[in-house]
Amino acid sequence: MPLAIIVGGFFGDEGKGKIGSYLAVADKPSIAVRCGSINAGHTVSFGGRVWRLRLVPSFFVNNTTRLMIAAGALLRLDVFFKEVEETGVKNRIRVDRNAGVIEERHVEAEKSDAFLVKDVGSTLQGVGFAMADRVLRRLRLAKDFDVLRPYLADVALEVGEALDRGELVYIEGVQGTFLSLYHGTYPYVTSRDTTAAAFASEVGVGPKRVDHVVIVFKSYVTRVGGGPLEGELSPEEAEKLGLAEVATVTGRRRRVAFFNLALARRAIMLNSATQIAITRLDSLFPQDKCVKEWSKLSREARSWLENLERELKVPITIVSTGEDVLCTVDRRKELGLWW
């Protein structure tokens, strides 16, 4: 069984939570590890319920998957315990001993930084200042908090041993490639690298252990906050086209543009992507809402996907056609990429 990383291909908001929750149900992995921090939200819709998560992995919907938070991640105690209670995963979630902890002083510092507030459009969750404290070796870690003691684990070791036993492991990345501190639209980026290699490093697995990188693209591009967005539509145009969205964490309106092939090609290169997942197909082709088989997609939708696959030269294996986990087309068996 492989190790696979899920990564966002644009500026976040691609629907990684939907893809992760679908793969949880379809593949029933042994372990799923969440990277990043609370400034990235993943939405999971399943069985008539909706969860908006910032720390618990989207894979929680499979009740046999062990859930973990990576050493390179940052958590906030109130968010962690709230989500653990909401999802009922107390007995199967673990936090790496070296994961960082955001404190109120980090949040207040970020709110008082005019550049982050007005220019960058930070989510104001304290993540940037906590990351700065980590670099300066001042940040308190999960192992420093008694309240987290029952949840502590050596995540790198547990993942390594699971892979040695031939078990399936997923790493759940956050945000998007072009919010990367190194490869994104600096300075309008987040405070960490957001590519697949960085997520592997956060967890503690070497590059030779990664078998697949599933890059997630929405059928159009969105971003929140400042920074360039080529071909940006006006709010009125986005509304008229049915592409208007609100961000999971901040509640801010997302900026919108049509699918960008040049960005997608670069994201594939930066992440060594082996598979593509497309979300929100039903936003472009409403007639395909919750279609679950490739052959039953409209001719227009299939043509759009096939053209995209030719242009990007990476197989499109998973297509989301609705918010619910089960509204998904899965082509992996057909394409010989099932594990």
Q: Which residues are catalytic?
A: 13, 42
If you search the block for the tokens 């082509």, which residue do you land on? 331
Query: Whole-angstrom Cα distance, residue 1 to residue 237?
Result: 45
Instruction: Please give the backbone phi and psi of residue 200, each rounded to the nearest 5 degrees, phi first.
Output: -60, -40
List Cβ neighbours of 317 (8 Å cut-off, separation of 6 or more).
214, 275, 276, 277, 330, 331, 332, 335, 337
Query: Whole-angstrom Cα distance, residue 191 to residue 39?
Result: 10
- Among candidates 46, 31, 61, 26, which has minimal Cα distance to 332? 26
Instruction: Please give the backbone phi and psi of residue 302, each rounded to the nearest 5 degrees, phi first.
Output: -65, -40
Asked whether 55 and 77 are in contact (CB, 8 A), the reply is no
Query: Whole-angstrom Cα distance, residue 53 to residue 35?
Result: 12
If you search the block for the tokens 């987040």, which residue do you land on? 190
